[in-house]
Amino acid sequence: MTALTRVRQRADGATLVCLYLLALLVVPARLVLSFVPMTLPPALVVALLLGVLWLSAQMVDTLGIGKGRNALRTAVAIYLAMHLATYAVATRRWLPTDELTVADSSMVRIVATISVAIFACDAVRTRERLDRVLKLVLACSGMIAFVGLVQFGAGVDLASYVSLPGLRVQENAYSAMESRSIFRRPTGTTNHPIEFGLVCAMAVPLGAHYVFHARDHGEPQLRWWLCLALVGLGALTALSRTAILGMAVSGIVLVATLPRRRKLTVSVLGLGFFLGASLVVPGLFGTIRGMFANIEDDPSVKARTADYEAAADQIDLNPLLGRGFGTFLPTKYTILDNQFLLTLIENGYLGLFALIGMFLAACYATFRTRFLTRDEGLRGLASCLLAAVLVGGIASATFDLLSFGVATGMVFTMIGLSGAALRIAQAERAGDDPVGGADGRPFLA
């Protein structure tokens, strides 16, 4: 009975966030539920359940979930309100059947993803549990990178061999490996090389943090070096400008926030890793350089800017709340590789401001966390979360982020954990016990 009690006490809000991350990052994104008519991956089912649990926990005072004002939670709530307003306005007028169907499913998807952010913000209550969640993010990202590197080097898609009961392969999922120059572009367990590169880039600062943390505490470093090498090489082999920019932003954040004695170490390691990867994979450096050197003549860049005039006409039709989230169908209109522009069309200026405000609130939460705490471990995690949020924000300007489930889930999880870090720092600063509820019981114990 005692052993059972110990196991149950470990199952808290962080455990459920980890369950979501496993469904999001380990289960191949092309697998969706086979017994429902809409495209519903397992991660979204878990996300919806987290939303129900969060709402239920807010009604009682005995589950230890965070309550009260929080800058991040307020920003996410405003973003949700804008989506609800857009959906109400869009469905009030006539919509073609294909657009209405996608609008309905898109609303379910965004509400589920927002639920993850709010749940992570309020349910991850201690430094140790935040650390556990982020370690899982790094480990799963390393696994994704390994699958992608096998695709890149051997042309073997390990994810295609995964088959789970109750799941089917999404019909319109990205399946064939693209190529750029002489290289294959891997996808890992995601649906697209850009998404794969973004996930790896967001995990790079976590790898650096845990390498330093293990060295400072005399713990084994090999596993963290391996994860760092995998996600770093995964981001490079994605051959994506989004991933390269994400790694650059992560490096800048680390150099700016790390203690002075480590700034040079990170800079040297980053340069050495890039040069080493170029030597191990001949031609990789030239391909990456060509992606930026001839950017004005690149067909993909020209395609991204060619439709701006048509996008402006769509914005003018519904400037405040947009035409409806998910209704600007790429198969019917055009593909817009810019989430901010797509949000302006689908959610209007109010939706765009809410989206940007959510990213800014997450950045504020990480800065505030670093200001409130003197613990170097929590300060380091706040820096990693800041880097991840900034990478997600930049990615929103380079591709349609919300159209890709794994990348969206990863970004919103990091946004929610930024709010959790702020709650933890505030609780520690006030000397409060962040875990116990009114009767001292932890969440879900």
Residue 224 has pLDDT above 80, yes or no: yes
Residue bearing the bigger pLDDT, 263 or 324: 324
Cα distance between the two ends of the chain = 14
pLDDT of residue 445: 41
pLDDT of residue 174: 55
Question: pLDDT per residue over 265-312, tens digit each?
Answer: 777 777 776 666 666 666 666 666 665 666 665 656 555 566 666 777
Cβ contact 228:207 at 8 Å: yes
408-420 mean pLDDT = 95
pLDDT of residue 265: 75
pLDDT of residue 203: 93
| Chain mean position to CA 132 | 17
> How does the average pLDDT of the chain come out, rounded?
83
The tokens for 399 are 């591709």
pLDDT of residue 52: 94
Question: pLDDT per residue over 339-382, tens digit each?
Answer: 999 999 989 999 999 999 999 999 999 999 999 988 888 999 99
Query: CB 183: neighbour CB atoms within 10 A?
Result: 18
pLDDT of residue 289: 63
Residues 132, 388: Cα–Cα separation, whole Å: 17
Strands 31-33 and 178-180, bridge-based pairing: unpaired
The tokens for 239 are 């051959």
pLDDT of residue 100: 87
34-50 mean pLDDT = 88
Most confident of 170-184, 197-211, 275-289: 197-211
Residues 45, 28: Cα–Cα separation, whole Å: 15
Could you tell me the CA-to-CA distances from 248 to 242, 262, 285 in Å, in that order?
10, 17, 15
Cβ partners under 8 Å of residue 62, min gap 6: 437, 438, 439, 441
Tell me the percentage of the chain whose pLDDT exceeds 70.
Answer: 83
Question: pLDDT per residue over 118-141, tens digit each?
Answer: 999 999 989 999 999 999 999 999
The tokens for 188 are 């890992």
Residue 410 has pLDDT above 60, yes or no: yes
225-242 mean pLDDT = 88
Burial 380-404 (b: 16+ CB within 10 A, else e): bbbbbbbbbbbbbbbbbebbbbbbb
pLDDT of residue 45: 93
pLDDT of residue 255: 84
Q: For residue 225, which amino acid is it?
A: W
Query: CB 341: neighbour CB atoms within 10 A?
Result: 22
Give the pLDDT band of residue 145 (cuts 50, 70, 90): very high
What stretches of 127-170 show up as alpha helix (H) in DSSP? 127-154
Helix, coil or strand: residue 180: strand
pLDDT of residue 142: 94
Cβ contact 416:119 at 8 Å: yes
Residues 343, 324: Cα–Cα separation, whole Å: 9
